[in-house]
Structure 1
Amino acid sequence: MDTPLHLSMYGEYQRMAEDVRAVQARVTEIRTEATSEDGTITAIVGGSGELVELRLDSRIYRTPDSNQLATDITAVVHQAARLARQETFDILSGFLPPDARPETTDLRADPLLHELDRQVAGRER
């Protein structure tokens, strides 16, 4: 029992699904890099915040402080993750409300929820 409303909803769903898939593809291609001030630690992080690569220069062995090394690695990985999150946010910004901020937005769900809310609000008018 397809009515014109159902057909138009399906068309909008298809368009939205295509947009989401295109954005997902862009996010999976993200690679951000951060390097420690002394250049001994480099982290590369993907669009989902996952550590893709960690490079350690042999100079890290000059100071045998494993706790400081762990702290420095963690800081560099977090810096790369922040850059990835910002890049992901920039890609998804068209699906977010104008007042959205990278640090408070759930980039996995909020863009889709906002778009659905927008679609529903448009129907109620």
Structure 2
Amino acid sequence: MDTRPRVGPAVDYPRMRAGLLTLRERLADVRETAESDDGLITVTVGARNELLGLELDPRVFRTPDSAALAADILGTTRRAAEQVRGRLHELTRSLLADQEGGRR
């Protein structure tokens, strides 16, 4: 007899665990790349917000404004991180939809 408390519909814990393990596996493949508005900076960010790649076109060094360069790199990195968050949201929604479908 299952003695776990029930607050709402029954939760299929083994199915939820399997879904979470699948999500964790998929996270390893999540990476997004963003490019600066001028196309001179390319940044790739992973699911754990780690910087996986930074490419600078040599033309960025024609202007010796390091503060502007840093701001452009940061802005491009944030754009890539936003794309990663969107992808994670999609994966999580997919997992939850699968869980909901299994309860019916």
Using CA pairs under 8 Å that are at least 6 residues apart, name the structure with larger relative contact order, 1 or 2: 2
Give the CA deviation at 1:63: 0.4
Partner residue in 1 for 2:2:
5
Alpha-carbon distance between aligned partners in 1 of 2:68 and 2:26, rounded to the nearest angstrom: 35
Partner residue in 2 for 1:107:
none
Partner residue in 2 for 1:79:
79
When the two chains are superposed, the root-mean-square deviation of aligned CA atoms in Å is 2.5
- Structure 1 segments of 4 or more deviating over 4 A? none
Is the partner of 1:32 in helix, strand or coil? strand
After superposition, the C-alpha distances for 1:42-67 in whole angstroms (9 at most, x for unaligned) are 00011122211111111111000000
What is the count of residue pairs matched by the alignment? 94
TM-score by length of 1: 0.66
Q: Say which is worse superposed, 39-48 or 74-83, in terms of deviation.
A: 39-48
Matched, 1:21 2:25: no
TM-score by length of 2: 0.78
After superposition, the C-alpha distances for 1:2-34 in whole angstroms (9 at most, x for unaligned) are xx315xxxx932221111010111122111010
Alpha-carbon distance between aligned partners in 2 of 1:19 and 1:58, rounded to the nearest angstrom: 44
What residue ranges of structure 2 are gaps of 5+ in the alignment?
4-10
What residue ranges of structure 1 are gaps of 5+ in the alignment?
98-114
Contact 1:45 1:84 in 2 (8 A): yes
Alpha-carbon distance between aligned partners in 2 of 1:90 and 1:48, rounded to the nearest angstrom: 15
